[in-house]
Chain A
Amino acid sequence: MLRYLFLTLSGLLFHAALAQNPITLGDMSKRLVAFFKTHHVQPPEIDSVFGRKVFDNLILASDPDKCILTETEYTTLKEKSASLSEEIKEGTTVFYDYFQSIYISAVERSEKIMQAYFESDINLAKPLTASVAENRFPKSEEHADKWKQVLRSSLMDYVTDQLESTDYELPEAKDLDTLVRFSKNLLKKRYGDYFHNLISIESELEIDYLNSITEAYDVHSNYFTMEVKQWFTEELQSERELFGITYIKNNSGEFEISSLMPGSSAWLSGEIHTGDVIISLEFGDGPRIELQGMTRYEASQLFQKTDSKELKIELRNKQHEIIEVLLYKGKVYSDDDIIKTAVLEGEKKIAYISLPDFYTNWTDTSSLGCANDVAKALIKLKRENIEGLILDLRDNGGGSLKEAVDLVGIFIDFGPVMIRKDYDGELWTMKDFNRGAIYHAPLIVLINEGSASASEVVAGSLQDHNRALIVGRRSFGKATGQSILSLDPMIELNLTQKENPEWGYVKITGLGIYRIDLSTNQLNGVMPDVELILPYDDEFQREADYPNVIQLDSINKKMYYTPAPEFDTENLVSRSLERQQSNAILKELNLTYHSLDSLFDLGEPSHLSLKDYLLLIKKEQLLFDKLDTAYSKKVTNYAAQSLTYDQEIYDMSEYMAAYRNDFLENVNTDYELAEAYSIMLDLLKK
C-alpha cells in the first residue's frame, strides 16, 4: 500500500513539474532515443554513424532538391553535426539551433532569388545555357542559376498546361506575353507560400528533426503529433467519419474536387462532381471562408481542425454555375478500402475478389475487419457455383496483421501462418485460430511491386502451404510491423491512463516478420510462381531501395505444417509466357513505352525553347493517348458480372450502381487479370 501511494504521489509531482516546464525539443530527442532502445526491434548504437544518418535525413527532409542550401553551408553544417549523436542522447540542441538559423537565412535568400527571377524579363524562346548539376548543392555563385533552372522548368510546365485546350499550339506573341505574365505572377505567389511555410511554422522544422532521428532507426519509424496520429489511425479503419470529398490544388491555384467517397454525404447528394471548383466553405455556424489564395496546408487545417458535423460548400461546376451543397460528416466506406467482388464468366465461372487494404477497426479489437468481409463475399460467391478464385492483392500496401492471419485461415484448415519476432527477441508463431476452411477450390493470389507487409504475409504463407498459386511480380519486400505509441513517459510507467499529447507519438518498428519456412520477405519480397511481364522496365522503388532499412537476423524455431502437393509450375509458367509474349495489348504498350522513353531522354524543359518543348509535349500526348487506348481495351476471355445477391442494393442506390459499373469496367479491361484467368483455366484443366 505504501509503495502504491509513493508511486502515485511521485507521479503527481512529475506531472506538476511538467506543467511548469514545457517539453523542449531536447527533452523530446532524449526521450526518443531512450524509448527506441527498449521498443525497437533492432536498435542500433547511438554513435557517430547514427548521428550521420540523422544529419543526412534532416538535410533530405528540408532540402530534397539540393537548391536551398549552398555547398559551403552544407559543408559547415556537416562539420558541426559531428557532435549530433551526443547531443541527442543528452537532450541538447546546439546543432539544431545552428541548423535552424542557417536554414532560415538560406530560405530567405532563395525567396529573394525567386522574386527577382519572376520579376525579370524571361525569354522562353531561348533555352537556358548555364547548367548546374541536380544531384549536388550549388556553390554560392551558382545558387541563383540553380534556382533559375528549377523556376524556369516550373514556368514552362505551367504555361504548357494552359495550352492543353489548344493542343499545345504556340500562341501569338501578344497572347503568349499575357499568358507568361499571368503565370509568372501566379508562380511567384505559389513559391512565396512555399517558402513561407518552410520557415514560418517553427514546429514543422522541429518535427522534421525528430523524424530524422526516428528514421535513422529505420525508414518506417516516424514521429508525429496528435493531429497526424488521428489521421493515421483513421486511415486504417473501414468506417470513418468524413464529409467524403478529396481535393487537389489545380494549376490555376484553385481547389478542385478530385474524388467522392461512395456512401458519403457528398456522394449521396448527387450534386457534387469531380472537377468542380471549391469557392468557399462554411463549417456549422462558423463564418464563410473563401479558399482563393490559400495554401494546401491552410486548407487541410480547416478540415482537420473543425469539430463541426456540417459543412456548407460553395462550388463552381463544369457548367460554370455556382451551387451550394450542405454536407454532413458520416461514416463512409472509402473507395480504396472496401473489398470488391465480381464473377468472371467465360469458359468457367471464376470468382474475383479485390482487396486494396487490410482494414480493421483499429480502436475496437473485438470487431471484425476485412477477413470477415472476404468470408462473407466468399459465402455469397459459393452460392453462385464458382470453380476458382482470384484474390487480387496488387498495390495492397498492408494494414492489420491480425486480418492477414485471419484471411489465410479462410483458405487453410489450420496451422502456422507467420512468425513474429518481438522487440524483446521472443519468437511467436501466429496461427489460424479457426480450424476448417471456407474455400477449398483452386486459388490464385495476384501480387505486384505495390503489395507490401500484410499482403506479403498472406501471399507468402499461402505459397508455403502450397495453397495458392502466386501470380504477378516480386512484391515490395517489407516484413516489419509498426505500432503507434505515446511517448509520454508516464504512460510507459503506467502512472497515467491518459497521455499528455505534447510528447507526441511514434510509429515504431517493434516487430520483424518471418515466413513459416523461417525465411523472411524483408528486402526479398514474395517471388511469384508465375510472373506477369511488365510492358516497361521495372523501375519501382521497393523496400530494399530505401535508405536505413532493417535487415532482419536469421531465426531458428521448430515449425510443423503439412503443405499441399506442389503445383505443376513449370508447365503453367511456359504456357503463360507463350500467351503473354503474343498478347497484343502488351505488345502495343511495350512499343509505346519505348517511344516515350526516347522522348524523355531529350532533356529538361529548362534547357529547351518553349517551341521545342511544346512539340515534345505534343508527341508525348499522342503516346499517352495510345497508352490509354491500349489500357482500356476489353479483354476477351471473360465478362465480369456483379453478384446477383447484391442486385437489390444496386437497384435501390444509383450511386452504388455507378460505383459497381466503374469497377466492372476496370475488371473488363484488366489484361493482367485476364492472364490470371487463363492461368486459372490451366490449373482447372489438370
Chain B
Amino acid sequence: MKSILATLFLLVSLSYSAQNDAIAYMNTFSNEYSAIQQSMWDYTRTISHGKSARKVEKTRLELIKQSDNALSNAKKAKDFNGSTAFRDSVISYFTIVNLVLKEDYEKLVDMEEVAEQSYDLMEAYMTARDLASDKQTEAANMIGEEQRKFAEANGITLIESTDDLGQKMEIASMVYEHYNAVYLIFFKSFKQELYLINSISGLDMSGIEQNKEALLSTLEEGRIKIKEVPLYQNDETMVASTRNLFDFYEEEAEGVALVQDYLLKTEKFNKVKTAFDEKKEKSRTQADVDQYNEAVNEMNAAITTYNEWNDKMNEKRSKFIDAWNSAAAKFTDKHVPKKK
C-alpha cells in the first residue's frame, strides 16, 4: 500500500487562462492521471474495508491494465513546440507506477545490492519496495517541476485546489502511514518468531538459541520504535494489540529454555542408556540402576513440561495474532472513507 499511496497527491487541479493548444496538451496527461487516481482510490477502498482476496486481486489487475494504457498513451504524445521535457517526465512516472504495481522491482532498483544488504528474502522484498516507492516519489516531484516549467513557458497559471477525491486519498494516506509503520514493526517480530518455531521443530539447538536471542532484540527494538509512531486520530488500537503480541513473544522466548532442557535431557538419557545397555547385567551396580532411572525420570518430566508449555503457547499465539488482525482490519475500516 505504501508505495501506491505515497505519491498520489502530487498533480494539482489546474485552471488556465491562455493558449488553448498548450492547455489541451497538458490535459491529455492530466485526464489520464485523474483516471488512474480514481482507480487507485477504488483499490484502496477495496483493501481497507474487508473485501475478499479475490475482489482485491481483481481490482489490482484492473489498475495494472489501466496503467499500461496510460503509459502507452503518454508514449504516443508528441512534443510541444520542440520540447519533450514535460511528456518525458510523465512517461517516466507512469513507467515507475506500472513497475511498482506489478512488483517488478528488479527494473527499478539494484536487486543484487538489496540482496547483499538484506538478511532474508522478505527483508530484501521490503527494502526493494521502499526503494521503488522512493523512486516513484522522485518521479512525481519531477512531473510537478516540469508541469510548472511548461505552464510558465506557455503563460498558463496553475491554481492548486483540492477536490473530493484528493481529500479522501489524503485521509487514506494518513491512515496507512500509521498502519504501515505499525505493520513493519509487527512483521519483523512475527517473522522472527516463525524462524524460532522452525528451529524448534527441526530440533536445531543452534537455531533455537540464535533465533531466541534475535527475537528478544527485535522486541526491544520494536518497543522503542512503536513509541515513536504518530497515531491517527489518537487511535491506539493497533499499537496496543502489537504491544500485547510483543508481551506474548517475550514470554515465548523466555520459555525456550524449556525446549533446550528437553533436548539436552533427551540427549543425556540416550548417552546414559547406551552406557547402561553396554554393561553386562551382572556387572550393573545399584548406583547404575538408580542413575538410569533418574535420567528417565528427568527426561519424562522435561517432556511433560515442554508439552504443557507448547500447548499454552499455541493457544496464546492464535489468540494474539487473531486480535492483531482484527485490530488492523477494524482500524482501516473505521478510518478510510467508504465513499466512491
Which residues of A come within 8 Å of B, CB atoms?
Answer: 263, 268, 366, 368, 371-372, 374-376, 378-380, 406, 409-410, 413-414, 416, 429, 431, 433-438, 557-560, 645-646, 648-649, 651-653, 655-656
Complex Cα distance, B204 from A406, in Å, reads 11
- Given A437-B210, A652-B288: A416 touches B116 (CB 8 Å cut-off): yes
Q: Which residues of A contact B308 (CB under 8 A)?
A: none
Judging by beta carbons under 8 Å apart, are A379 and B260 in contact? Answer: yes
The answer to whether residues A436 and B211 also contact, given A268-B278, A649-B268, A652-B291 and a CB cut-off of 8 A, is: yes
Interchain CB contact under 8 A, A438 and B116:
no
Check B34 for interface membership: any CB of A closer than 8 A. no
Closest CB-CB distance, A441 to chain B, in whole Å?
13
Q: Nearest residue in B to A433 (C-beta to C-beta)?
A: B120
Please judge, given known A-B contacts A410-B206, A414-B119, A436-B210, whether A379 and B264 are in contact too, CB under 8 Å. Answer: yes
- The interface residues of chain B lying within 8 Å CB-to-CB of A653 are 271, 274-275, 278
Chain B positions within 8 Å of A374 at CB level? 206
Contact B217 A648 (CB under 8 A): no
| Chain A residues whose CB sits within 8 angstroms of the CB of B113 once the complex forms | 558, 560
Q: Are A379 and B116 in contact (CB under 8 A)?
A: no
CA distance A433 to B195 in the complex (A): 10
Give the complex CA separation of A410 and B206 in angstroms: 7
Question: How many angstroms from the CA of A268 to the CA of B213 in the assembled complex?
Answer: 40
Given contacts A368-B204, A409-B210, A558-B113, 18 further A-B pairs with CB under 8 A are A366-B202, A375-B206, A376-B206, A379-B260, A410-B206, A429-B115, A434-B199, A434-B206, A435-B195, A436-B217, A437-B213, A438-B213, A557-B116, A648-B291, A649-B275, A652-B275, A652-B276, A653-B278
Known contacts A379-B209, A434-B195, A434-B214; decide if A649 and B116 are in contact (CB<8 Å).
Answer: no
Can you give 11 contacting A-B residue pairs, CB < 8 Å?
A375-B209, A376-B206, A409-B206, A435-B195, A435-B214, A436-B209, A436-B215, A648-B268, A651-B287, A653-B271, A656-B275
When C-beta atoms are compared, the residue in chain A nearest to B283 turns out to be A270
B192 at the interface (CB under 8 A from A): yes
Task: Kindly report which residue of chain B lies nearest to residue A413, judged by CB atoms.
Answer: B214
Q: Mark B298-328, 1 if CB is under 8 A from A, else 0.
A: 0000000000000000000000000000000
- Give the nearest-CB partner of B115 in chain A: A429
- Given A434-B214, A649-B268, A558 and B112 contact (CB-CB distance below 8 Å): yes
- The smallest beta-carbon distance between A561 and chain B, in angstroms, is 9
Contacts A372-B205, A645-B264, A652-B288 given; indicate if A435 touches B278 (C-beta within 8 A).
no
Assess A438 versus B211: contact at CB under 8 Å? Given A263-B274, A558-B113, A645-B264.
no
- In the complex, what distance in Å separates the CA atom of A433 from the CA atom of B213? 14
Residues of A within 8 A of B295 (CB): 648
Q: Which 6 A-B pairs rank lowest in CB-CB distance, beginning with the nearest?
A: A436-B214, A375-B206, A653-B275, A436-B213, A435-B214, A434-B210
In the complex with contacts A380-B264, A560-B117, A435-B210 CB distance below 8 A: yes
Kindly name the residue among A406, A433, A653 whose own CB sees the greatest number of chain B CB atoms within 10 A. Answer: A653
Complex: A438 Cα to B120 Cα, angstroms: 19
Q: Decide yes or no whether B272 CB sits under 8 A from chain A.
A: yes
Asked if B275 and A376 make an inter-chain contact with CB atoms under 8 angstroms apart, the answer reads: no
Docked-complex contact A438 and B268, CB < 8 angstroms: no
- Which among A374, A414, A559 has the highest number of chain B CB atoms within 10 Å? A414
Check B192–A435 contact: CB distance below 8 A. yes
- B213 nearest in chain A by CB position: A436
Q: Which residues of B contact A431 (CB under 8 A)?
A: 119
Are B272 and A434 neighbours in the complex by a CB distance under 8 Å?
no
Closest to A414 in B: B119
Select A371's contact among B120, B206, B211, B212, beta carbons within 8 Å: B206
Complex Cα–Cα for A434 and B274 (A): 33
Number of interface residues of B (CB under 8 A): 41
Cα separation A644 to B260 with both chains bound (whole Å): 17
Residue of A nearest to B119 (CB): A414
**A372 vs B214: C-alpha distance in the bound complex, in angstroms?**
17
User: A414 contacts which chain B residues (CB < 8 A)?
Assistant: 119, 214
- A648-B116 contact, Cβ under 8 Å, with A375-B205, A375-B206, A435-B211: no
Task: Provide the residues of chain A in CB contact with B112, threshold 8 Å.
Answer: 558
B115, B192, B206, B271: the one contacting A372 at CB < 8 Å is B206
Closest residue of A by beta carbon distance from B278:
A268
In the complex, chain A residues whose CB is within 8 Å of the CB of B77: none
B260 — which chain A residues lie within 8 A by C-beta?
A: 379
**Cα distance A375–B209 when bound, in Å?**
8
How far in angstroms is the closest Cβ of chain B from A473?
Answer: 29
Residues of B within 8 A of A371 (CB): 206
In the complex, how many angstroms separate the beta carbon of B19 from the nearest chain A beta carbon?
50
Tell me the nearest residue of chain A to B113, going by C-beta. A558
Q: Mark B266-298, 1 if CB is under 8 A from A, else 0.
A: 011001101110100000000110011011000
Note all chain B residues with C-beta closer than 8 A to A652: 272, 275-276, 288, 291-292
Evaluate contact between A438 and B206: CB separation under 8 angstroms.
Answer: yes
Closest to A265 in B: B278
Bound-state CA distance A368–B260 (Å) is 15
Which residues on the A side are within 8 Å of B337 (C-beta)?
A: none
Q: Say yes or no: A560-B276 contact (C-beta < 8 A), given A372-B204, A648-B295.
A: no
Would you call B203 an interface residue if the criterion is a C-beta within 8 Å of the partner chain's C-beta atoms? yes
Those of B73-120 within 8 Å (CB) of chain A: 112-113, 115-117, 119-120
CB closest chain-A residue, reference B270 = A649
A414 to B118, CA, bound (A): 9
Cβ distance A26 to chain B, nearest Cβ, rounded Å = 45
CA distance A653 to B287 in the complex (A): 12
The docked-state distance in angstroms from the alpha carbon of A374 to that of B215 is 21
* A410, B213: Cα distance in complex, Å: 11
Tell me whether B144 is interfacial, beta carbon within 8 Å.
no
Chain B nearest CB from A311 CB (Å) reads 17
Query: Is B255 among interface residues, defined by CB-CB distance under 8 A?
Result: no
Question: When chains A and B are docked, how far (Å) is the Cα of A647 from the Cα of B274?
Answer: 15
Q: Which residues of A contact B192 (CB under 8 A)?
A: 435
- Which of these, A379, A435, A558, contacts B205 with CB under 8 Å? A379
Task: Tell me the bound Cα distance from A218 to B212 in angstroms.
Answer: 44
Write the chain B residue with the least CB distance to A440: B213
Chain B residues contacting A558 (CB-CB under 8 Å) are 112-113, 116
Give chain B nearest CB distance to A519 CB in angstroms.
17
A652–B112 CA distance with the chains assembled, in angstroms: 55
Q: Which of B171-192 contact A (CB under 8 A)?
A: 192
Are B275 and A434 closer than 8 Å at their CB atoms? Answer: no
Q: Please indicate the chain B residues that have their CB under 8 angstroms from the CB of A437 in the complex.
A: 210, 213
A416 to chain B, nearest CB (A): 7
A303 to B275, CA, bound (A): 26
The complex places the Cα of A652 from the Cα of B215 at a distance, in Å, of 38
Asked if A648 meets B210 with Cβ closer than 8 Å, knowing A414-B119, A429-B116, the reply is: no
Most buried by B among A378, A416, A435, A648: A435
In the complex the two chains form, what is the Cα distance from A372 to B203 in whole Å?
10
CA distance A519 to B195 in the complex (A): 32
Are A376 and B205 in touch, CB under 8 angstroms? yes
What are the residues of chain B within 8 A of A649 when measuring CB–CB? 268, 271-272, 275
Q: How far is the CA of A317 from the CA of B206 in the complex (A)?
A: 45
Q: In whole angstroms, how far apart are the Cα atoms of A119 and B315 in the complex?
A: 88
Contact A560-B116, Cβ < 8 Å, known A268-B278, A648-B295 = yes
Cβ contact within 8 Å between A435 and B206: no
Whose C-beta in chain A lies nearest to the C-beta of B216? A436
A435 engages B268 (CB within 8 Å): no
Most buried by A among B192, B210, B272, B288: B210
